[in-house]
Amino acid sequence: MNCKDAVQQITGYLDGNMDDELKRMLEVHLKCCHHCQVVFDTTKKTVELYCDGKLFPLPGSVRSRLHDALRAKWEASSR
């Protein structure tokens, strides 16, 4: 497997959706190709960073305005 073929497999690899033989060939390639190993590791890290639940918290003031607006709508609809 060459680098171009390896990169094409990144989605299947990250999603855990590869057939065993292809995965074995990819892992052999990653062991001997530092560049591809970096690309795979940092792509995985990219996804992890965007999924980090500690980032982009909902500010309390934004939450309060949301709940006030919803409560007002509910009260208006139940009159």
Partner 1 sequence: MANSPETGLVKDESVLVTEAKAGSYEAFEELVNRYEKKIYRLGLNLTGNAEDAEDMLQETFLKAFEHLPNFREDSRFYTWIVRIAINQGLMKLRKRRSSKEVQIEDASNDDGEVIPRDFADWRPNPEQEMERTELENILQTAARSLPMTFRTVFFLRDVEGLSTEETAEMLNLSEGAVKARLFRARLRLREELSKILKRG
Structure tokens at 74: 């509910």
Give the x/- contact pattern for partner 1 in 58-77, rule: CB under 8 A.
x---xx-xxx-xxx-xx---
Using CB under 8 A as the binding rule, whether residue 10 contacts partner 1 is answered as yes
Using CB under 8 A as the binding rule, whether residue 42 contacts partner 1 is answered as yes
Residues 14-33 that bind partner 1 (CB under 8 A): 14
Cα-based distances in Å from 67 to 47, 56, 60, 64: 31, 19, 11, 5
- Whether the CB-CB separation of 7 and 40 falls below 8 Å is answered with no
Structure tokens at 65: 């305005």
Structure tokens at 29: 């390639």
Q: Which residues bind partner 1 (CB under 8 A)?
A: 7, 10-11, 14, 34-35, 38-39, 41-43, 45-47, 49-58, 62-63, 65-67, 69-71, 73-74, 78
